[in-house]
Chains A and B, each alone.
Chain A
């Protein structure tokens, strides 16, 4: 009889590979992506950008491509934050 206990027997664990619910996805990933790409406050883009990287694998998997695209966009050397609002900062300083 082979000893199978050492390498091939792994205790059952709860299944963590299921996809997150749509609500969770919208409240975390989509919200972060929106903040990263569109907010014109650098504190927001800095923080949410880091937060995107710190998400657990379960949340990352369904939207890897979107997240990679956003990070790629934000890492462009010529990228400006908050491209949606062009003259906002001038109003703020007035």
Chain B
């Protein structure tokens, strides 16, 4: 009896039946990480063509494919996705960093293949991928022949030598066919094997030096290093450790296949271990566990380097300093303060950091992941003296600010205002508030005390008006914090800040009003009345009046002076009153 087995395809693949694990149309960090791992493994399997040209030889990745893989990995270093498990994007960032180092390590050495026995200098490159079956090739020491076949994934060349060539004597069988490592065979320009014009002389072949564009240019390499540097400065220990190891790898890769790196001596001095040839144990211990106390003092040295590294370091430090983990914040801020003190001689370095901070805030406008730590960092910078008053309010920062403001303070104020537009996040509001308090600048006495003159939105008028808006904010916590911070600031510097006030004893009255009013009460109208009184005392038009004019941001923030707002305000006010009444 014969049994017949039949195999029928199930009607649906299992994946569509198991409904519990279906999360279609959702991002999946593990898939992204696996794609990066696969990309690297694939590249390692195929290798990279020795040929720097675009010609597809069927072996290894071509230039375009390599560039594409590198671009994919570089993009993945900016993967900051989070879900309920936390910073899952960090898996992708780590995979991408390791992958970049692995891919750059794959670059074929530009060094010549080992010379044949006669000691003649070998050809400058061994472009085995240029080899074409049927084409004319030359094997050093054996003369010219025809490439019959490529074997072992292109590593072995099978060459048939024409009669009369030296190779034909060495390989008498199979019509003068010999096997060579592909690296020892170079293609000839003309397709006439054994042309009589060039009589073969053993060991006398010379090759024209084929100067070609490198597979990876210096700018791309610098971008890779900058991406790793940024990760080295960020807040997760495990990512810093990974980035440190990758940077050590990148900086110790042989230089000939890799292009020269901008500011390489500076990078090496800052990042490599002190001994010239570190042992593996030394290398692993240097960045072990991403120790912030080790890493940040090293990294800040790179703040003086060229554009891309500087930007990467600043962007990373902003995240770290404004972060929440105590050890990282302390180490990063400490390193930054020390660096700034060392820079005091020439102010250029500190001002440059300021410009870069503005750039980062512009590049990530509206992204709380970056903006919130950056605002906290700015606050800490001013508190700890990384930026002094002179830095904040110095005239033009050297380049025209994107939003017209000349000084760093004006630039920061413009960013703070932009971030406050429609913001309902108390943490962010408070961070903006602390920055705005630092941006208060005493107006010069010569300026007109008329309230309308400070309507341009920059300088002290802008910062003080912003604070007045926050003093009348819908959220009680914001109002209270604003009153407290303003009180402290006016107590310390009131004589300068209120120099232009209309009332002589303005400072005392303002302080009294700030202290006497209960700012976190539910009575919004009463609070706003008190706020308007403060404004009048300081000689500033109350924001409600200003919002009817051109200052749109202030109007949105205060929510007053608009026809559509009052109803909502009443709701909120009553809700706040309810909460207060119920004792929550």
Binding site for B on A (CB under 8 A): 2-4, 7-10, 12-13, 15-17, 35-36, 39-46, 49-57, 60-61, 64-65, 67-68, 71-72, 74-89, 91-93
Contact = CB atoms under 8 A, between A and B. Distances in A.
Given A41-B24, A89-B23, A92-B19, 6 more contacts: A17-B150, A40-B22, A53-B41, A71-B38, A77-B89, A83-B25
B15 A81 contact: no
A27 B375 CA distance: 54
A20 to B, nearest CB: 13
A3 B69 contact: no
B332 to A, nearest CB: 25
B15 A4 contact: no
Most chain B C-beta atoms within 10 Å of own C-beta, residue among A8, A42, A53, A82: A8
A42 B37 CA distance: 16
Interface of B: 15-16, 18-28, 30-32, 34-42, 45-46, 58-59, 61, 65, 68-69, 71-73, 75-76, 78-81, 89, 92, 114, 116-117, 139, 141, 149-154, 156, 170, 178-181, 184
Contacts, number: 186
Nearest to B76: A75
Contacts of B37: 50, 53
Contact of A41 (B21, B40, B45, B178): B21
Contacts of B38: 49-54, 71
Contact of A79 (B32, B59, B78, B117): B32
B27 A68 contact: no
A47 B153 CA distance: 27
A17 B151 contact: yes
B184 to A, nearest CB: 6
B24 A3 contact: no
A61 B57 CA distance: 10
Contact of A67 (B31, B42, B73): B42
Task: Tell which of A35, A42, A93 has the most Cβ of chain B within 10 Å.
Answer: A42
Contacts of B61: 64
B68 A72 contact: yes
Nearest to B20: A92
Contacts of A8: 139, 178-181, 184
A12 B156 CA distance: 9
Chain B CB within 10 Å — which of A3, A41, A60 has the most? A41
11 contacts: A9-B179, A40-B25, A41-B21, A41-B22, A44-B15, A50-B37, A54-B41, A71-B35, A76-B32, A77-B89, A89-B26
A52 B38 CA distance: 6
Contacts of B15: 35, 39-41, 43-44
A77 B28 contact: no
B113 to A, nearest CB: 10
A79 B46 CA distance: 26
Contacts of B76: 75, 77
A76 to B, nearest CB: 7
Contact of A57 (B45, B73, B81): B45
Contacts of A43: 15, 21
Contacts of B181: 7-8, 10
A43 to B, nearest CB: 6
A89 B25 CA distance: 8
Given A10-B156, A75-B72, A42 B21 contact: yes
A72 B65 CA distance: 11
A89 B18 CA distance: 11
Contact of A42 (B28, B114, B178): B28
A79 B26 CA distance: 8
A50 B80 CA distance: 22
B45 A60 contact: yes
Given A3-B117, A10-B156, A43-B21, A75 B39 contact: yes
A74 B32 contact: yes
Contacts of B40: 53
A76 B150 CA distance: 37
Given A8-B184, A68-B39, A83-B25, A77 B75 contact: yes
